[in-house]
Each structure stands twice: as C-alpha cells, then as structure tokens.
Chains A and B, each alone.
Chain A
Amino acid sequence: MKNAVGREIPDSLLVNGKEVYQGKNYMDGKYIQKAAPKTRRYETPRESKIVDSIVQALKDCGAKSGMTFSFHHHLRDGDYVVNMVMQAAIEELGLEELTIAASSLGAAHDPIADYIEQGKVVGIQTSGIRGRMGEVVSAGKLKTPAIIRSHGGRPRAIEGGEVHIDIAFIAAPTSDCVGNCRGVGGKSDCGSLGYAMTDAKYADHVVVVTDCLVDFPNFPTSVEAIDVDAVVVVDSIGNPKKIASAAARITQNPRELMMAEQAAKVISVTPYFKDGFSFQTGAGGPSLAVNLFLEQYMDERNIKMGWAIGGICGPMVELLKKGKVGKVIDVQDFDLDAVQSIHTTPNHFEMSASQYANPANKGAFVNKLDFVVLAALEIDTGFNVNVLTGSDGVLRGAPGGHPDTAAGSKVCIIVTPLVRGRMATVCEHVVTVTTPGDCVDVLVTDYGIAVNPLRPDLIECLDNAGIPHVTIEALKEKAYSLVGRPDGLEWEDKVVAVLEARDGTILDVVRKIKPFVL
C-alpha cells in the first residue's frame, strides 16, 4: 500500500494495527495505552545491589534466549557496554534469538555484526545503524527487519508497549551501590543520560554498568535506584576520547561557513526571530557554525535566545555563559564543554528523550521550537529528507531527532552541500524517506536556497529581504548537471529495515540492495 510520501509499504507489515504514514499530526487526539513493566519487589532492606559480573546480573534478571535487551548511546563511538553485555549473553551464557533495542548504534558496535551473521542476534531496533552492522543488515543477514525509529519515536514505542524491554542495561559514568546514576563525576563522563530514562522506567529489569562507584546517594540522579535491579562495576565502560570529542570547534571549511551564514540570514528575516526565540542545531560542521552567525544577528537586533534544546555542544554552552540564551535543555552532550557544563552552569538542564521529542505524550519540547537547523544525506524535490541510507542504498545513518524537530518546529532548515563527491544530495527521489517533506521548510545549499512551496509565508520573508532563492527542481538539475544523472538502484524484494514515522506509522522500508557488478 502506498503511503502519504508515495512509498510502497508491503501489506505483510500492516498487521497488529500498523498503518502506513498518513501525513503530519495524523495521530493527534488519539489515545495510547501505556504498557507497565513487570518488576521485582525489593522489600527486604539491602545494603547494596552490586553483583560480581554481567553474567551474574543476567542470571539474576532471568535472562534467556528470545529476550530484548536495551541500551542507550550516550557513550557514542566510545561505548564498550553493548559489546560487553552481548558477549556475556551469547558466548558465556549461550543465549540465542536476542533482540537489541538501542537508542542508537554506531562504529563502536562492529562486533555485533558477527552475532547477526551467526544468527544469535535476530532483531535490531535503533535510531542509528552504521559501519559493519549497517552492511550486514543491508545484505539481508538479520533474521527480522531492523526497526528504525526517531529519538521521539523510541520512547513512544516503549511507552506504548510496541517494544517490550526485558532487561535494560544502563551504562553509567557514576553510580552508587544501589543504582542511582549520573552522567558526570567519573572517568567516562557523557553528561546527560536523557536517552536512558524511559528504558529505566519501562524495562522489566534494569542493570547498571559503571566504572566509577561513588558514595550513596549519587544525587541529583538521572536514573533512579528505585528502578534498578543490579549494579555491575567494570574496569571501563568506554573510551573517553570517543565519548565526548574535545571541544567541538566551529568549522573552518569555507563551503560550510558560507552555508551556515546563509542559514542564519534566513532565520534572521523570519517573524519568529525575536527576543526569546527557541533554537536547535545539529553538531555537524555547517549546522554548528550557524550559532556563530546567529549570534551576530542577535547582537545587531539586541535580542536573546529564550531557550535551546538538543544534543548540545560547546558553542551553545558559550552562548549560555555569555547570557545570550535563557536556558539550555539537554538530552545529549557531544563535547567536553557541554559535559562539564550540565548540572553546573546555571540554567543548563537535563531532559529525557520523551520530554524532548515524543509525539505521543502531551507536548514535547520540539513542539515549541521556533527554528531547527539540520543536515541531510539526500533531499528530494518533494523536500523529503534521507538521513539513513547512503545514495548506494546501504544503511549508514540515523534519523535521530531529525523527524521530531522537523515536525515540531516552526521553521526547519536543511543545510547541505549540493553534491558530495559524485553523489547528488539534492535528487529526484531519496533512497529512503526519514523525514517527510511536509515537515521541511527551507533548503540551504552551496549553490542556492530553496523554500518549500507549502510555506508561502517564508517565501515572502525571503523576497522582502532580497535573499535570492530558486526552486528545488532547479537545484536538483544543477546537481545532476555536475555529477550526471545516477542510475536507479536495484533492489531485491526482501525488506531489511522498516522505518517508522515518529507517530508509529510506516514511513518507508529499506530492501536488500543488489550491488552492481561490472
């Protein structure tokens, strides 16, 4: 059945009430039955929940084949915990048919590709999938299609019981002996633990894995001991160098700076750019650089930003410290400046993924966002964005908060170069739709700006300010004139990943790619 973005969704996936994507805000006003976990009572007072090993924790929580284990991705490319737990479960306890439900997976998790190939891991639910894991899933080696969700879609699915977590593993930079966790104070600090919070509340069992045991009570907590079954102390939960990069520096790449400058200019000519406006930007080169130019416009007009959300980097913390932002509310930290700032800089707060972006609760932060600046792997002439699959059809990205912030914000700006090497970023049809075009308002490229015709108000703003813009078709043609029109990819029928819209309907599927051989 074709959905609202023109993608053919196999009927076999439309079971148990699953629907195809129907357009923005389709679920508004509907009810959701929250799924409560079945949790164990710890009535007898005990001094400590520390157990000797992950294997012991797995045993204590009744781990068995067929279960779903959850993880957060705050340790990013430095994470050791996913591999550590899966190795213990599969190689030491001999468990099989396991599903990993992670807020994201990345380069640190290449070893899991082996477990997929061996058929030990049969399900993956995640926002991001990259590296070898992306390759083996794209090659059809995972037994069930991977399920890809946005950062807001994940807590919705967990709270609604679409994902039932048997055991949640919380990698914790610090914990006390009963499982009060924080993202700071240890040797593997990651700052916010926002993506772990829903897991702790909705999993049947919760195991904290830490490399820094601190005195009870470890307060203020990100994950509360009242939800935790066991605490395991290991040598190291991750590689600090890869958890938070050294201070994220604003790009020096002239192309990225040029695009960032244009994006800030677009923001500055809309009516939403006024004292107290709200803002989110990604951590990528051109997105982060928008901060720099936006500050100049704020100074010129003598206005301040009311609040900023998202994954947070140093440049935003700088603005907060200079008093140019009212509050920073933080679901994840990308660099050491942000990690060191959360909980210490006044008005720098932590929030959960649900509070950040869940479309099924009673109003997440993204719903009050004025501006979001985002990147794209591809964007097509319908303004649909792909941030999941490469132009070659292989899984190598993550929707993350992209669809959530795009849908919630008043102005969503995509900043991307027109072409990358020989790949046309602006194209006829994206390989996979991860953010529907009706949520995307402006495209800024190194070859010009295009505004979604659904936003005549923004077109007028640009015209009044004398900012030149062209149609997105013209940008696509320019791209193809540079790199040549690509041949269509060839697919097999097998679906290797299902991409859920943030509201839980099916936005797109990724099929097994048929590689071109000479």
Chain B
Amino acid sequence: MIPRPKPERFRLRRTMMFMNAQKPGLIKDAYIYGCDSIMLDLEDAVAENQKDAARFSLYHALKTIDYGDTEVIVRINGLDTPHWQEDIRVCVAGGADGIRIAKCESAQDVLTVEQAVEEAEKEFGVEVGRTLLMAALESPKGILNAYEICSASDRMFGVAISGGDFRKCMQTSPQHDGVDMLFARGQMLLAARAAGIQCFDTVFTNLDDQEGFEAEVLQNKAMGFDGKSLINPKQIRFVHQVFAPTEKEVIQAEKIVRAIRENAEKGLGVFTVDGKMIDIAFLPGAERTLKLARACGMYEGDLV
C-alpha cells in the first residue's frame, strides 16, 4: 500500500496523459514517461458494461502502484449516468489526488460532486478537503458558465476544454489555425484566470499529424494555457519543450525573486531590476518561472 502525499492545489501541470483505467498493462507504470499528471479514465475509454471492472482495477492500481511525484487524477463518468457516485467513492477510497468532472455545465454540477466527495471522504476516513477537483467543459453551456464553474469551490484547481464533444455541439471540426475553438478557449482562459485557477487545453488526437500537433501546442502556450491533455506518451516531450521558460526568462526571474526578498528585508516596496520597475506583484510569476525551470532541468538553485 503506497501512501500518497496530500495533493497540492497549485503545482506544475504541463502534461496530463489519459490512460484507460481498465487496461492493466497501461496503468501499471504510466508515470515513467515523465508527464506531470496521469488521467485515469473511467469515462469514454471504458465500455458501458465494464464500468464495474474498471473501478476494481483502478482501486488496486491506486493502492498498489507507486506513482511517485506524478499526480494521479481520475476522470469520472458524467452526472447524467448511473456511474458517477460509485466512481467518486472508489477515487476517494483509493486516494486519487483529484477528480475530473466530465461534461460540467454549471457551478451546481461542481457542488454536487463536491458534496459526494465530502461524503466519501467521511465514509473512508480521508481528510475532508483532500481530494481536488477540476472541471471539463464540453458544451457551449459549460463555456458560457465557465467563471461560475471555475470559482464554485476551493477544491477546484483547474478547468479544461474537451474538444471532441464541444466541436460536435458547435458543428465544427479541428482546424489548423484553431479558429474552431478560439473563442471558447479564450473565454475559458479568462474565467480561469479571473477565478485564479489553472487552465488546460484539449487532446490532439491525430497522432500522424505531428505538424498540426506542434502548431496547436505553440498556440496553447501563446494563449496562456498552463498545460495540455495528451493521449500518447510521445506527445509529452514537445509540450515540455514548448512550455519550458527561456534561459533569459529564468535569469530574469532569479534576479527578481532575489531582489524582492532582499529589498523586503530593507523595507523597500518598489525598486528597479535591469532598469525595469519591480514590485511584489512580480513575485508569483517569477516563482512560477523558476518552478517550471526546475521541472525542465534548467534551474538547480534554492529560491523555490
């Protein structure tokens, strides 16, 4: 039995890799590829008549396998199915770090899940509040309600768009320039940032179209996403490459963190670094850059 540390609400989540929770060969060591989070899937990847079997597999995988620093999230079945309550029970009992709410359309959906999670935490003797939540927006209604969803609960660490279902609702299909979901992505990013949580882009499913994948990842980074959902380990490397800070950014961040700390001791609130005016508001961004740099093997210092 592997005890997992208390999940961190805000951590590095550049890559979330989907894995069918029903496939023993896949889930036993998906962490070796170095993605930040694993998404064990009880929803679309599992056939309707194997939902029960997948939960037994998931429970023992969570209890037996040492996923190390890799975050373990479970995608549960939608609230319109007969499965989601038992899904939540097994996630909490097994000690998953977080739950992804599929087809989330309102703050009420988040609250419904939160209540079931809390009941499960009490039932299984798990610290109340331990289990984190994220929402997947898969419909126009979800996108329109993005802000209320993002700010519905203290357990919420992030929000993601689910391209497959969303594009069907919008009567469109993946476009190379991303115009099909440009507005939805933007609206979701705005909501996430306003609520102070993370924001993740959808999967890119055509494994043969590496060029298209790379273009989408670059656009994700430019738009301000924190990370991306993936369907294959071979996609991890490029995302990490794109989301890595530049050397210049790392040096700058290091200077800023150092300067803010030194000046705080002297009681100075506003000062200049390399001729640029800096205050305490720059600290979270600079620290995030350094954390990212450390995860990318670019920073070995002790400031974060």
Is the C-beta of B33 less than 8 angstroms from some C-beta in chain A? yes
Output the nearest chain A residue to B236 by Cβ-Cβ distance.
A254
Known A254-B33, A258-B33: A482·B28 in contact at CB below 8 Å: yes
A482-B234 Cα distance, complex, nearest whole Å: 24
Q: Mark A389-427, 1 if CB is under 8 A from B, else 0.
A: 000000000000000000000000000000001000000
A454-B97 Cα distance, complex, nearest whole Å: 43
Q: Is the CB of A446 within 8 A of B28?
A: no
Output the nearest chain A residue to B64 by Cβ-Cβ distance.
A482
CB distance from B106 to the nearest CB of A (A): 37
CB distance from A466 to the nearest CB of B (A): 9
B233: chain A residues within 8 A (beta carbon): 254-255, 258
Output the nearest chain A residue to B65 by Cβ-Cβ distance.
A482
Q: Mark A222-264, 1 if CB is under 8 A from B, else 0.
A: 0000000000000000000000000000001011011000000
Chain B 14-38 residues near chain A, CB threshold 8 A: 25, 28-29, 32-33
Is the C-beta of B108 less than 8 angstroms from some C-beta in chain A? no
Is the C-beta of B57 less than 8 angstroms from some C-beta in chain A? no
Is the C-beta of A447 less than 8 angstroms from some C-beta in chain B? yes
A482: chain B residues within 8 A (beta carbon): 28-29
Output the nearest chain A residue to B32 by Cβ-Cβ distance.
A446
A258-B25 Cα distance, complex, nearest whole Å: 17
B234: chain A residues within 8 A (beta carbon): 252, 254, 257
Q: Is the CB of A254 within 8 A of B29?
A: no
B263: chain A residues within 8 A (beta carbon): none
B32: chain A residues within 8 A (beta carbon): 255, 258, 446-447
A254: chain B residues within 8 A (beta carbon): 33, 232-234
B28: chain A residues within 8 A (beta carbon): 482
A421-B25 Cα distance, complex, nearest whole Å: 7
A421: chain B residues within 8 A (beta carbon): 25
CB distance from B222 to the nearest CB of A (A): 27
A421-B28 Cα distance, complex, nearest whole Å: 10
Output the nearest chain B residue to A448 by Cβ-Cβ distance.
B32
CB distance from B240 to the nearest CB of A (A): 13
Q: Mark B127-145, 1 if CB is under 8 A from A, else 0.
A: 0000000000000000000
A446-B28 Cα distance, complex, nearest whole Å: 13
CB distance from A64 to the nearest CB of B (A): 53
A447-B33 Cα distance, complex, nearest whole Å: 10
B232: chain A residues within 8 A (beta carbon): 254
A206-B43 Cα distance, complex, nearest whole Å: 65
CB distance from B110 to the nearest CB of A (A): 34
A252: chain B residues within 8 A (beta carbon): 234
Chain B 215-274 residues near chain A, CB threshold 8 A: 232-234
A447: chain B residues within 8 A (beta carbon): 29, 32
Output the nearest chain A residue to B235 by Cβ-Cβ distance.
A254
Chain A 424-476 residues near chain B, CB threshold 8 A: 446-447
CB distance from B63 to the nearest CB of A (A): 14
A421-B24 Cα distance, complex, nearest whole Å: 10
A254-B32 Cα distance, complex, nearest whole Å: 10
Output the nearest chain B residue to A481 by Cβ-Cβ distance.
B66
A482-B67 Cα distance, complex, nearest whole Å: 12
A396-B140 Cα distance, complex, nearest whole Å: 57
A146-B132 Cα distance, complex, nearest whole Å: 61
A258: chain B residues within 8 A (beta carbon): 32-33, 233
CB distance from B35 to the nearest CB of A (A): 11
CB distance from A402 to the nearest CB of B (A): 26
CB distance from B169 to the nearest CB of A (A): 32
A447-B233 Cα distance, complex, nearest whole Å: 15
A510-B258 Cα distance, complex, nearest whole Å: 66
A254-B29 Cα distance, complex, nearest whole Å: 13
For B28, B32, B33, B233, the residue with the greatest tally of chain A CB atoms inside 10 Å of its CB is B32
A482-B2 Cα distance, complex, nearest whole Å: 12
A482-B28 Cα distance, complex, nearest whole Å: 9
A421-B29 Cα distance, complex, nearest whole Å: 12
A254-B207 Cα distance, complex, nearest whole Å: 12
CB distance from B189 to the nearest CB of A (A): 29
A257: chain B residues within 8 A (beta carbon): 234
A257-B4 Cα distance, complex, nearest whole Å: 29
Output the nearest chain A residue to B234 by Cβ-Cβ distance.
A254
Output the nearest chain A residue to B208 by Cβ-Cβ distance.
A252
CB distance from B198 to the nearest CB of A (A): 25
A114-B280 Cα distance, complex, nearest whole Å: 83
A446-B34 Cα distance, complex, nearest whole Å: 11
Chain B 75-123 residues near chain A, CB threshold 8 A: none
A446: chain B residues within 8 A (beta carbon): 29, 32
Please give 16 more A-B residue pairs, beta carbons under 8 A apart, in addition to A254-B232, A258-B233.
Answer: A252-B234, A254-B33, A254-B233, A254-B234, A255-B32, A255-B233, A257-B234, A258-B32, A258-B33, A421-B25, A446-B29, A446-B32, A447-B29, A447-B32, A482-B28, A482-B29
The 4 closest A-B pairs by CB, nearest first: A254-B233, A254-B234, A446-B32, A254-B33
User: What are some 10 contacts across the A-B interface (CB < 8 A)?
Assistant: A252-B234, A254-B33, A254-B232, A254-B233, A254-B234, A257-B234, A258-B233, A421-B25, A446-B29, A447-B29
